Chains A and B, each alone.
Chain A
Amino acid sequence: MTNYRFIGKSTQRKDALDIVTGKAKFINDFTLPDMLYGKVLRSPLPHANIKSIDVTEAKSFPGVKAVLTYKDVPDWMAGSAPQHVRILDSKVRYVGEAVALVAAETEDIGAEALRLIKVEYESLPAVYDVEEATQPDAPQLYEKFPRNILPQGIRVFGLHPLQEVVIGDIEKGLEDADFVIEGTCSYENIPNPMPPESPAVIAAWEGPDTLNVWLGSQGPHIVKVALEKWMGSINIRSVGYSVGASYGSKYMSWQYTMPAAALAQATGRPVKLSYGKAEHLAAFTVRLGSRIHGKVGIKKDGTVTFLSGDWLVNTGAFSEASQAMVAVGCGEAQLILRCPNWSFKPKVVCTNRTASGQVRGFGGQELKCALLPILALGMEKAGIDPVDFFKRNYVKPGEGYYWRDGEWWVCEGIDYTKAIEKGAETFGWKEKWKGWLKPTSVKGAKRRGVGVGIHGNADAGEDVSEAFVRLETNGTAIIYCGLPEHGTGQRTNICKMVAEILQIPLDRVSVTPADSLVNPVEIGPVGSRGTYAIGSAVIAAAEDAKEQLFEKVARNLKVKPEDLETLDGMVYVKGKPEARISWGKGMNYSGTCLGRGRFESDFSKPNFMMIFTEVEVDTTTGKIDLIRVVGATDVGQIIDPLCLTNQLDGCLGSAGIDSALFEEAVLDTRLGRIMNLNMIDYKWRTFAELPEMEHVILETPFSTHRFHAIGVGEITPSPGPPAVLMAVSNAIGVWMHDYPLTPDKVLSSLGKIAATKRGERA
């Protein structure tokens, strides 16, 4: 293995000092002169027409600068696809939807003004269940979506985006199967990724056609692209701050940016719109609801002969990008399941609760959580160990799959069998696995069980990244890249890559702010693409700059560029460091070398994550303790070990593993309201209850990355929830398919109390 100077070593994160001293600036730490505060009046009803709305009193309230209703906001249309979301509409479709906007001198004034707005509603029947919503007599959310079903496919993924997985012949699969299993599993607890920093933005217009937005988005460039699409021909400048985490949710960010823009336009002043936590939990995007009615054919040896089924996807009140998530989910299903015959058909459906949007796992987690338990029924019938099953069926180099663009891709990545085996060994799978629905151990009322889940994504090389690297005469380098820091340490990691290529100390490399006015195109650190896609663009830019430098120096020294080497800002002929010249001299002190790099989509390199879990169930109270988690992956090459383990530890959070245990948005379907709108009632993992956590990280070089690396950050939580479901089912000897596994459900599965269904009315 190559011995690198920075790559693979632990280095101090560039923003470390700012973070530990409280200097790191998040959007709410920042104000503009003359700035107003936006506030949102939110709907009390899940589905209603606004009959009348009177803002007279609110408008005349001292300190109020603007009050907007559906009658006076610009006709910007968002959502995909087609566009169907107005920032304010004459109809509301979920409790908490914006009804009116206020801009005021202070937040308190704005809050008071909201109380003076009088709204009369015509209440409409509401629907929450994904299947009820598709019935002919169901309440209709949008005229353009009959039976609340959204059109499939999304054009940003190409002309023939993936809409379903239909391959081979199901009849043939039925014939070949030794066992056929049918089942339904739902992952519909719509957990909230709940980053600590709630959505917030400052919007300010510069003249009528230029809008500046400052926000904690995971993808400032995408914010620009989305706003330009939704708002028409205006220039958008989008600036990313330190992101108080996102986990995908604050990626596109138009949901809160467009209202701020409307208020800024109406008042001619900068407007900050900052959600409180209750707004974040009630009226910001959550995970997709996912339900699969599936049928699977399996042979005694674990070969899958067919998979058929309906994937019912509940997107709530609108689709932020649900069809895109479904497309990726369909692709990811094929990565874990080598199978010749498919008929797997998704349906994206609107219902009257807060909308679903992008969250770490991007459709794939939602799919796996519902699909793996159904596959497990098949494995049980065939008597197959799930680790053996996954080892057999995970995509191998040379095998193909339809990806989100509708194209057939052949895997050119690596074989993850070794990672699976090493993970199983580290976990002690062989010793702990006692067969399906069998506990690992029983001690009085405490029963232990183990489970395993798998996930992978070929999006680690998705989309376009561009970067520039500018060499300075003083031996420093600047990276131009629209990459915000959202917790992964990626801004530092691209500096490490550039420092490695240019062989300069890490503190001589800096990155521009994630400002769309300054930087070239950058889709952002999503889908684990930071290392492979963004990294490759930055690497190419650094290589290009170095090449330009060497050409200049080579001309002066009358040698060939390839004979040159650089170290710490000096250039010399290889092996002759004594005759060296500085970058400054090499560039004649006047110019710079500006390297350019670009990365184009490559869906042939799926990444991989396996999660092993051990749980202990107290059969007298139904309480589940997560005892141990072992994650197994292969990253090609570690860039920064501590940043990597941070990302891998992240499997518990951001609506990941814990969405199997206690995370959920509790929806009262009689009122249409989410009841747990605070961080006491919305449950999250605390320091006091940390499971033992271990990571198996292999480094099998990836040929196509300069440092042979591939990213895994996005996928780490996704195999976890179904692994927990499996572990609990094994512990108590009964299948449990109802996320999250709260004590009442455990006791009910054990027959200790009568079954109650959460959605049911009393």
Chain B
Amino acid sequence: MKSFAHVNARSVDEAIQLLTKYNGRAKLNAGGTDLIGVLKDRILPGYPEAIINIKTIPGLGTLEKGEDSVSIGALTPLVNLIESPFIEKNYPLLQEAAKTVASPQVRNMATVGGNICQDTRCWYYRYPDQIGGIIECFRKGKKGCPAVAGDNRYHAIMGAAKCYAVCPSDIAVALIALGATLTIAGAEGSRTIPLEDFYTPLGNVLAPEEMIKAIRIRKPFPSTKQTFLKFTIRKPIDFAVVSVASNITIEQRICTRARIVLGAVAPTPVRAFAAEDFLKGKELCEEIAVEAAALALAGAKPLSKNAYKIEIAKTLVKEAILSKIK
């Protein structure tokens, strides 16, 4: 791997200062499970001058339980979400999502913040430099998306315009269903935004000198059922072909609140607003679920090889709606 300068940040402020100093030419490294691959394959036109290790920042790897919410430090390893009885009890869909990520080793290393910020797995974007050079595309500042006329079996079925790569994060899909917010640290101090506003068609809203500090989730509503479903070619290792997270409150058999989020179908995680609205005030049954699933995918426009993702997404939305309260 091509070398770089390496700095251990001792505080969030120091990390921000370093990011500011390198002005886009440095990358933060947490678990490394995404970044190291990006560096080894040299998939990006530029190569970072410096890697800033943020694992050396104390206090960012813990769960802090508050009165009406929990704050998850950005450096919390995914395995901690799986092993936490608190998460299991209050946010089972987040635990389920964490369990589906990659492999036990990756879950020991990868962090919540890193999972949210990871780069897309589009195989055109990720094509390794060593086999004839990287593939240029809109996401890399050039024109065109090679997936549109290429093999787009894993690409976006909705919400894409110039880049059809999908957001690969499972954790984000789960967290958006839980209404999570992000605390972002930057040169001007901290700001808080809903996670669902974090993603943009080509990545996220982080400025070059910003980093995620923590994720906050409010206390779950009572009599709420949470479900996370992920369709993959294989159970472990694989990124989602489609994932669905649902967070549905049912009072006296009637759905009073619903959040349904689809992953890996678009450049960003997608809230299925139409389906959510449709479910409100209804008693959930097969027929209603099928209709809601159709609404969730109403805007889908497949590319040449990914129409199957629509069918799968519909099935997952339906199953999520019909799942039992745990």
Contacts and interface: CB of A to CB of B under 8 A. Distances in A.
Interface stretch (B55-63, B85-93, B298-306): B298-306
Interface in A615-655: 620-623
A683 B233 contact: yes
A42 B132 contact: yes
Nearest to B316: A621
A117 B276 CA distance: 56
A279 B305 contact: no
B41 interface: yes
B252 interface: no
B1 A108 contact: yes
Contacts of A666: 123, 151
Contact of A276 (B130, B135, B153, B303): B130
A44 B136 CA distance: 12
A622 B149 contact: no
B231 A675 contact: no
Interface string A24-53: 000000000000000000111100000000
B304 A756 contact: yes
Nearest to A107: B1
A671 B1 contact: no
Contact of B3 (A44, A108, A678, A762): A108
A95 B127 CA distance: 12
A677 B235 contact: no
Contact of A760 (B132, B231, B304): B304
A742 B233 contact: yes
B307 A689 contact: no
Interface stretch (A313-321, A359-367, A513-521, A743-751): A743-751
A675 B125 CA distance: 10
A681 interface: yes
A686 B312 contact: no
Q: What interface size band does chain A fall in?
A: 35 or more
Interface in B39-53: 41
A234 interface: no
B315 A743 contact: no
Interface stretch (B11-19, B72-80, B236-244): B236-244
Given A671-B150, A683-B233, A760-B304, A620 B131 contact: no
Specify which of A112, A623, A748 lies most central, judged by the most chain B CB atoms within 10 Å of its CB. Answer: A623
A559 interface: no
A662 B235 CA distance: 13
Contacts of B238: 680, 683
Contact of A744 (B41, B126, B127, B153): B153
Interface string A724-762: 000000000000000000111001100011101010111
A753 B305 contact: no
B124 interface: yes
Contacts of B237: 679-680, 686
Contacts of B1: 108
Interface string A669-701: 011010111111101001111000000000000
Q: What interface size band does chain B fall in?
A: 35 or more
Nearest to B130: A278
Contacts of B126: 678
A276 B235 CA distance: 26
Contacts of A170: none
Nearest to B302: A753
A687 B312 CA distance: 24
B234 to A, nearest CB: 6
A756 B131 contact: no
B127 A677 contact: yes
A686 B131 contact: no
Interface in B293-326: 303-308, 310-312, 315-316
Contacts of A748: 308
Given A278-B131, A622-B312, A677-B131, A762 B235 contact: no
A762 B308 contact: no
Interface of B: 1-3, 37, 41, 121, 123-124, 126-128, 130-133, 135, 146, 148-153, 231, 233-239, 241, 303-308, 310-312, 315-316
Given A114-B130, A747-B311, 20 more contacts: A108-B1, A111-B130, A278-B128, A282-B131, A621-B231, A621-B311, A670-B150, A673-B127, A676-B123, A681-B123, A686-B236, A688-B234, A742-B153, A742-B233, A743-B233, A752-B311, A753-B307, A753-B311, A758-B305, A762-B305
A-B pairs, top 9 by smallest CB distance, nearest first, are: A44-B132, A762-B304, A744-B308, A753-B307, A675-B123, A620-B315, A282-B131, A278-B128, A688-B235
26 contacts: A42-B132, A95-B132, A111-B130, A114-B130, A283-B131, A621-B231, A623-B231, A670-B146, A670-B150, A675-B151, A676-B123, A679-B237, A680-B238, A680-B239, A686-B234, A687-B236, A743-B233, A743-B308, A743-B312, A744-B305, A744-B307, A747-B311, A752-B311, A753-B308, A758-B151, A762-B303
